[in-house]
Amino acid sequence: MRVHLGSDHAGWELKSHIVGWLVANGYEPVDHGPDRPVPDDDYPVYCLRAAAGVAADADAGVEALGVVIGGSGNGEQMSANKVRGIRAALAWSEETARLAREHNDAQVVAIGARMHSTVEATGFVATFLATPFSGDPRHARRIGLLRSYEDSGELPPLPQG
């Protein structure tokens, strides 16, 4: 599986660790940068590219997921979610990483490097990559509502009753 990564200066060290972990565990990392810590860099530059790489691979039929990393992971998640067709989730535990895939079919996980140890964050990535989407009809229906809104800009109808 291909794994696209992007970070800012606060996430650079963890991203570098995750790239090595991915290689050691048989994944194909694609590092969208930065290639060194750059103080005052702008995380959207790298995180948008990582998410766009995941989306392009999906369009080409290539199995791929993404990891974006910053100080808190919040801005990185927001950036990834701006890419059409991408669902990015902020993970703060192995359970949230698992549920992001299992319930939301998220293709990108965001992690706050200043919020977690390297061991914890690596566990989030491992869990995220190993967990498939459940395919449960209620989760698929909800994802469908998001896709429909993204495509049309029309809000889903309110439930009757």
* Whether residue 9 lies in the annotated active site: no
Q: Give the integer Cα–Cα distance in Å for 144 and 158.
A: 15
Tokens in use for 57?
């691979």
| Rounded Cα–Cα distance for residues 114 and 55 (Å) | 27
Catalytic residue among 76, 102, 150, 154: 76
* Cβ atoms 18, 53 nearer than 8 A: no
For tokens 């989730």, what's the residue?
89
Active-site choice (17, 102, 103, 120): 103
Asked about 103 being catalytic, the answer comes back as yes
Active site positions, annotated: 76, 103
